[in-house]
Amino acid sequence: MNEFENLRRLLIEDRSIRRFDQSRRVARETLDSLVELTRYCASGRNLQPLRYFIVDSEEGCGRVFPLLAWAGYLEDWPGPEPGERPAAYLVQCLDTRLGKDCLCDDGLQLQAITLGARTLGLGGCIIKAFNGPKLREVLGLGEEYAPRYVLALGCPAETVELEDMAGDFKYYRTADGVHHVPKRVAGELVIGTL
């Protein structure tokens, strides 16, 4: 398999995971290595204004979990049950002393981390829906750090399948517990050529 096909396979496998094997912890060294990947990402204006708060203790994870909202399209699902919750979190923060926005740096860095996690057999879920004031309080963040995203991490305990979109774009879960994610077909993505 060539490098392009390896990248395609990795992107296909890099899905949002919402149920984890909570008993399998993620080593601090692994989390540090994942954050280190962000050093190599492009950065608007080369400002590099993003920082990460690592939460990897069971107690810390227990304090962060109730501040998160999970899977908006699964309206009858309140989120992972005990035993299925993330083993760690990386809280991405903007250092507002360096700038008031991060352009596209946040997405680039989160993708780098989730791709890196996938190569290690881990899965992640990028979460934007969280209680910001409470999260600041739990983490003891200074006013200069503005939380942007919470990345839940751990060993996947669910199957996620991609499928060609046939109408609705909303992900869903079938009775067998498989999480299905509709994706637009490639022919819809290019709107023209010149």
- The pLDDT tens digits for 166-180 are 989 999 999 999 999
Does residue 81 lie within any of the structural domains? yes
pLDDT at 22 over 90: yes
Does residue 123 lie within any of the structural domains? yes
H or E segment at 4? helix 3-13
Give pTM, 2 decimals: 0.96
Task: Say if residue 61 is in the same domain as residue 137.
Answer: yes
Task: Say if residue 34 is in the same domain as residue 127.
Answer: yes
Task: Say if residue 51 is in the same domain as residue 93.
Answer: yes
- The pLDDT tens digits for 37-95 are 999 999 999 999 999 999 999 999 999 999 999 999 999 999 999 999 999 999 999 99
Q: Residue 194 sits in which domain range?
A: 159-194
pLDDT at 1 over 90: no
| Distance from C-alpha of 139 to C-alpha of 51, rounded to nearest angstrom | 13
| Distance from C-alpha of 160 to C-alpha of 170, rounded to nearest angstrom | 14
Residue 117: CB partners within 8 Å, gap ≥ 6?
34, 123, 124, 153
Question: Domain total for the chain?
Answer: 2
Rg of the chain in Å (alpha carbons): 17
Does residue 15 lie within any of the structural domains? no
Task: Say if residue 126 is in the same domain as residue 184.
Answer: no
CATH number, residue 45: 3.40.109.10
